[in-house]
Amino acid sequence: MVAVGKFTRVIQTGALALGLAGVVSFSSSASAGVLDSHAAAFNDGNGPSAGAWTSSTAFDNGVGLSGTVDWTVFGPGDFPFAGYTPTAGELTYAFQIFSTGTSAIHSLTLQDPNGAANNIGTFADLAGEAPFSVALGTQAEWNFTGLNAGENSIGLAFSSIKTPATLFGVAVNGGSFSIVIPLPVPGASDIPEPASMALMGLGALAILRRRS
């Protein structure tokens, strides 16, 4: 299996900068998965879908490893699925990976540069293959026996007190990898207090009224 930790160090020391310049494409998919464009997504005005943190990201390494990752970040108390219990008062980062290529997907990892993720797990409300192991360190990692073309994972999740930032993940086959970018990861800022969130909502409503 590819040494993801070593790959991550390479990315962080310069390859990601090349990706941002166009070597790695930022692509989005019209996936029909439940987590793509979820109506209950956390919205702080910075997400890709009208300020909401929900979308679908496609990946393809050009040699058979391809698919999509559907994802939504849910606000505290807003996680709508059973089988995973978010940490109280925290955001839930939820993902589901789909395989479309000739190479089976054996793992999905997401970076956690601020060490702010916790409570990694899964939820079977979204049907699919369950990972045989999960791990959380400087990365959140879910490992599979192999997602072949047309197959997908069950729901994957972790909690965090930090609001989202855009970074990347890595889909790994036994002998290759594909960067999945952009994906949400815990950023540097804590979730706003409820009063602050209410003020943000009123501000957004006022802007919409002025535009209408």
Rounded Cα distance between 35 and 41, Å, is 9
Extract the runs of DSSP E, i.e. beta strands, from 27-84: 43-47, 51-52, 54-60, 66-74
HSE-CB at 196 with a 13 A cutoff on CA atoms is 6
φ and ψ at residue 8, rounded to 5 degrees: -60, -40
Q: What is the pLDDT of residue 6?
A: 37
pLDDT tens figures, 39-80: 999 999 999 999 999 999 999 999 999 999 999 999 999 999
Q: Which residue type sits at 56? A: S
Task: Spell out the alpha helix ranges (H) of the chain.
Answer: 4-10, 16-20, 194-211
pLDDT of residue 210: 54
- pLDDT at 175 (0 to 100): 87
Q: With contact defined as beta carbons under 8 Å apart, do 106 and 197 qualify?
A: no
- Cis peptide leading into residue 182 (ω within 30°): yes
From its phi and psi, is residue 77 left (phi > 0), alpha (psi between -120 and 50) or beta?
Answer: left
pLDDT at position 174, please? 83
Judge: domain 4-211, CATH 2.40.50.140. Answer: no
The overall average pLDDT reported for the chain is: 83
Give the per-residue pLDDT at 196. Answer: 46
Residues of the chain with pLDDT under 50: 1-30, 195-208, 211
Residue ranges covered by each domain of the chain: 4-211
Question: What is the distance between the alpha carbons of residues 162 and 171, in angstroms, rounded to a whole number?
Answer: 24
pLDDT of residue 3: 43
For residue 123, give both structure tokens.
């939820």
pLDDT of residue 194: 65
